[in-house]
Chains A and B, each alone.
Chain A
Amino acid sequence: MIRFATLWLVGLALLAAAATAATASAQDAPGDVARGKVAFEHSCAMCHGPGMHGGRLLPGTASLDAKYHGRVPATLEDRTDLSADYVMLVVRRGSEGMPFFRPTEVTKQDLRDIAAYLTRKVR
């Protein structure tokens, strides 16, 4: 687990600048939670939703469940520890088995909205 944690932190530090650059041009329009919920349902929920399919957790949820073993919720919508930069980074850079998404699939506005939605519970 040390390896995972270390890589995660190093990766985040190294890539944060890239994420900021990728989204800087449109930072004047903040993310919208309500729109973000719709965009999440359209683009993310088929893997990261809370439901089951064929008796299994959906693949993104199952993967996070196997990664965190309950330390954080496996469903992204229940997380309280995500940052907007991190959400945007993962969507554009991918994460492990999850491929990255192009700006025509998840537009820059969609991405800000999804980030707003997934960080609405951050304490």
Chain B
Amino acid sequence: MPKILPAGVTAASFAMAVKEFQGVVGADWVFTSDPDVDTYRDAYSPLWDEPNEYVPSAAVAPDTVEQVQALVRIANRYKLPLYPVSTGKNLAYGSSAPSYSGSVVLDLKRMNRILKVDDKRNFALLEPGVSYFDLYRHIQENGLKVWIDVPDPGWGSPVGNALDHGVGYTASPFRDHFGSHCGMEVVTPTGEIIRTGMGALPNSDSWQDYRYGVGPWVDGLFGQSNFGIVTKMGFWLFPQPEAMGTATVLAPRYADLAPLIEVFNYLEDSMLMTGMQDWSSPLGGRFGQPQPEELSALMANGWPSDEQIEAYVRAHGGVAWQVRLHFYGPEKIVRATSEYAEQRITQAVPGATFELDEILKLPPTPEQARSHENDPHADHLGVPNMITYGLMSRRPNDPDPPQGHLDMFCVSPRTAQGIMQVNRTLYETARELGMPNHASPFNTPNHWYHRCYMMAGMMTPTYRDDTPDRSAKNKRSRQIYETAVKNLAAARFGLYRTALGMQDLLVNQYSFGNHALLRFQETMKDAIDPNGIVAPGRYGVWPKRLRDQRRPDGIDAPVAALKQNKEGGA
């Protein structure tokens, strides 16, 4: 008997559904015992062991698309929700736990076939259980001349990561994982198989070459959503470049941020500088690192004036911004492009310096791939790794770290004004909550997506061990997270992705036209999934019969309907 069942499902009907699931995949691949089902909890949950923690009733692991279809049909008969996961490593965004407790996790990890990697047309076709490590190994073992673009860490699924709008570190457009996909196979909530784009043309050889096919393009419906179960997905790959150049730009003044961004935007949008910009400031502001004492003193009495900030920069080394740039291509092109970039940047920002640190001939040696001397972030070389875990696990200077965290990154336009508005909002939120402040004028953006920046938000650790005050600490993290989401939205900024328990709240901020977008999505949900069996509540999209589960004001607030809101249009 599971700990929790979905609304309307009795213990007897659940048992019958499980028996039918076993008939499809075999008894070994239906998990109902507590120790097995507990592995489908969210290891980073901010609700660990709370009554409202998101937990499944069972898990089922198909091996083929036909089995997925059969399971979906059974789930429809019993109105038993299924929550699909790929490799289930979406830590900080929900892991493999369902968005509606009592759902059965549809674990696609066994569907791990690399169906095709073509290094002449530069694409891959994958099943959802394939990990970045698997794909990288396959490419290396077969001597294929293509790169993958990896997020951190590398144990996740290209399919799952793309569907959650995940990002990476090599060149644009490949860093945008959903944006560089081409073609999907999807099992609909009623058990049909559809193929998108050219896949809809029987026996087409262009499924991974042209993404639109004809008519309305529907692929976007399957990202961060619950309109179907993606069982195959194509990706465009980066032909193995001949070289990677890395350069360092230093800018002396706080006020240099605006012209620096403008010239980067020109170089990037002209496709001259497609590599990722690694922003930092030698004065502090790295997410996850303690704020220097002198910077904390500067921030102690309110947001400093521009004059105070400039004086602080001059007194602390005279460098406000540091950006590492990456250039990919033939060595001659890398040299020429970096020379041109140097010219444009130093013209636009008087006093800025540009240093071409290295041109690394590719492919990297295994040693370079593991430990590139000047740029230890192997992700820029498309090599999957787990470095990020090392930044969050126990270290000599952090002997007792939390067991998890919630990721919080908000979209900012590529402007100095946007970056500073986010930083000021986070700063004021920290003061409102009476918590240690990590925001300053020197917090810098992340440049995963090509046409925007992502700004790191508040520190929100989560705990699942025997810490005596675990519940209170997790509650505090939820409060911080929810307050930041609301304050950022009030300042016109939104997160691009969020954890279980925060999705209703976040979607509630995207409320233009009295929530017209969400109402449109839910109209489609009801038509596509009449029994509401695929991932109810994922990213705030609830099927009609479960719409009373919505918590638009946060996970600790009561369930509620959407409030009337005509702000920004009607």
Are both chains from one complex? yes
Residues of A within 8 A of B (CB): 7, 11, 18-19, 21-22, 46-47, 51-60, 62-63, 66-67, 92-94, 96-105
Query: A21-B33, A21-B35, A63-B395 given. 5 additional CB < 8 A pairs?
Result: A54-B385, A67-B394, A98-B393, A104-B61, A104-B129
Cα–Cα distance between A94 and B466 once the two chains are bound (Å): 13
Q: Which residue of A lies closest to B44 (CB)?
A: A99
From A7, A11, A46, A102, give the contact of B59 (CB < 8 A).
Answer: A102
* Main secondary structure on B side of the interface with A: loop
Pairwise interchain contact A58-B39, C-beta atoms closer than 8 A: no
Q: Which residue of B lies closest to A97 (CB)?
A: B393
Pairwise interchain contact B387-A22, C-beta atoms closer than 8 A: no
Residues of B within 8 A of A (CB): 29, 31, 33, 35-36, 38-41, 43-44, 59, 61, 87-88, 91, 95-96, 107, 109-110, 129, 133, 154-155, 370-372, 376-378, 385-387, 389-390, 392-396, 399, 401-404, 464-466
From A60, A66, A101, A103, give the contact of B395 (CB < 8 A).
Answer: A66
Cα–Cα distance between A98 and B395 once the two chains are bound (Å): 14
Pairwise interchain contact B403-A96, C-beta atoms closer than 8 A: yes
Cα–Cα distance between A104 and B40 once the two chains are bound (Å): 11
Assuming A46-B386, A54-B378, is B133 touching A99 (CB within 8 A)? Answer: no
Shortest Cβ gap from A5 to chain B (Å) = 13
Assuming A54-B376, A59-B390, is B39 touching A100 (CB within 8 A)? Answer: yes
Q: Which residue of B lies closest to A107 (CB)?
A: B28
Shortest Cβ gap from B385 to chain A (Å) = 6
Pairwise interchain contact A102-B403, C-beta atoms closer than 8 A: no
Cα–Cα distance between A113 and B33 once the two chains are bound (Å): 22
Chain B residues with Cβ below 8 Å from A101 are 39
Assuming A66-B396, A66-B399, A104-B109, is B465 touching A96 (CB within 8 A)? Answer: yes
From A21, A55, A98, A105, give the contact of B376 (CB < 8 A).
Answer: A55
Pairwise interchain contact A46-B385, C-beta atoms closer than 8 A: yes
Chain A residues with Cβ below 8 Å from B33 are 21-22
Cα–Cα distance between A101 and B372 once the two chains are bound (Å): 30
Cα–Cα distance between A62 and B371 once the two chains are bound (Å): 16
Pairwise interchain contact B61-A63, C-beta atoms closer than 8 A: no
Cα–Cα distance between A99 and B377 once the two chains are bound (Å): 23
